[in-house]
Amino acid sequence: MPSMKAIKRRITSVSSTQQIMKAMNLVAASKLQKARQQLNLIRPLYDNIKLVMDGVQSGGEALDSVYFQEREVKNIAYLIITGDRGLCGGYNINMCKEGRQLIHKHVKNHSSHEKIVIVGNKGRDYFKRRGKNVVKQYTCVSESVHYEDAERIGKFLTELYMSGEADEVYVVYTRFATVLSHEPSVIRLLPLGDEEGSGVQHGPMTYDPDVNTFMDYAVPMYLNTVIYGALAESNVCEWAARMTSMDAAAKNAEEIIDDLRLDYNRKRQGSITQEITEIVSGANAIQ
């Protein structure tokens, strides 16, 4: 049995850890609020450019573009968005498992080779330990989302696709619903046209100066916006998971402290009882 001194020392240690968890919970809550505000500004942009691309697809004039052409699938590029840090529950491991399952599914169906583009240190470490082909990695992006980062990533993925090094491009990210509800999601980024349309009827579209020039301008903007939105969604989910984990850790620490205090009080009461017994026994012996 641990001594009273050891129990008291552990209570102090757990209390210090609890204070750190509470502070990290407050920081995560503040970061989550800012990330949600950013996401609310991004979603209308994505929705509107998605409507434009649905109109292009339904019109049919641009379907001869290289961005819509299906190829024999030999190489697939995966953009997998994870975090740079831990202490966020199962967020990172769930993302890595989702990406790994998607890769295994495609290898089984198409006998394809993967080219993995990773956002975040956690995903990089996960896939490198398992010997996967990580061709590019981006760090210090997941917790501070900027459109310029999405442009850099989008340009690299587009170059892989246009050069023929990748026949399909997928984005694996976490979609935010509520603070307690966020699940891994997958989007096929290239080629375009596999996802269901919005259901909105589009009239005839005119292109100025021509459809090819329009596609060269609109498609990179669409791809960058999708990546930007995925980064923002994942950022919100990461902070939500971290806030929830820190809150749970603080509550667990409180329970541990209560149990330790109960043990300490029992130990102290036992010590007092033993001292009283010794005093009474000594008094009786003298008499």
Catalytic residue set: 88
Sheet holding 134-138, edge to edge: 134-138, 113-119, 75-81, 168-178, 181-190
d(CA 255, CA 219) in angstroms, rounded, equals: 54
Beta pairing, strands 75-81 & 113-119: parallel
List Cα–Cα distances, 12 to 18, 36, 247, 275, in angstroms.
10, 36, 19, 26
Q: What is the phi/psi pair of residue 123, to 5°?
A: -65, -40
